[in-house]
Structure 1
């Protein structure tokens, strides 16, 4: 009898090891890295405010990619996500890069259209960022433009994509400052 009980306990212990599910992999959160340098792409026009919003498909924290073999399907990096929605991260970055001080007549409204890793047929990736910039606030300020940025990646994975997206946001800051220096923003000067 004691031998039967010992065998039963041993079999139960061994079978318990195979019944328990493996622990789920830890979700890794990515952001755009260290804070962006204040004034690195200083706006040549004083802005009252800068606000960034995003199209609904990129309003969450999912890290998306698009594979050329399925160009109409958005994939999501498994067990990786943004630490905040892209619009919130880009808003914080652009407010620092452009050194928005709240003293101007115009608001810069930025709407993100794309914030995705694009993988071509050869398996090479690039971070794709698309933004619609619009000046508002002053009655004469109704200028807008679209900025598309692509940053090549050394390999296709979520961490490399986050680093490439940081470069894209830096470029968005520089391109935004250049656009604000153009005649498009002349009604906001002064």
Structure 2
């Protein structure tokens, strides 16, 4: 038997306490990447030792994550991927029956302004994904995403302007 409790009956944390908790959160960026994938291509990326945050700036496709279900991608999709989970970013061809060309990210990587740029295909990219690999610790001992076993996927609305905030953070980190 399931018992449902209204959310309004739970205690809410005050803004001051939330600020204190956030102040104890330490996020360290370990690396930044940009993935550009043209129609009819699949970009394969090795699993990183750190959790990854991935955001679709433009385009659509599928993200195949090792050990998890494939995720349909549209602009403003945000994913947090567990450590050591390889990825395949697929942008299918518009024509039926054409197999995608698989490209190894390891072999098609350039470093531009300290950012790893992975490219699959030479035509205008259909899908653009920015990625950051990070550690997130709470206090002195808790690594928040180290034990994550399945990806976290959230779809945002353009009015949330998450793309603007992430691009700004991306540019600030590049400048450092």
Question: What is the TM-score of this pair, normalised by structure 2?
Answer: 0.23
Higher fraction of helix? 1
Q: Which has the higher contact order (CA 8 A, sep 6+)?
A: 2
Higher fraction of strand? 2
Question: What is the TM-score of this pair, normalised by structure 1?
Answer: 0.22
Larger radius of gyration: 1
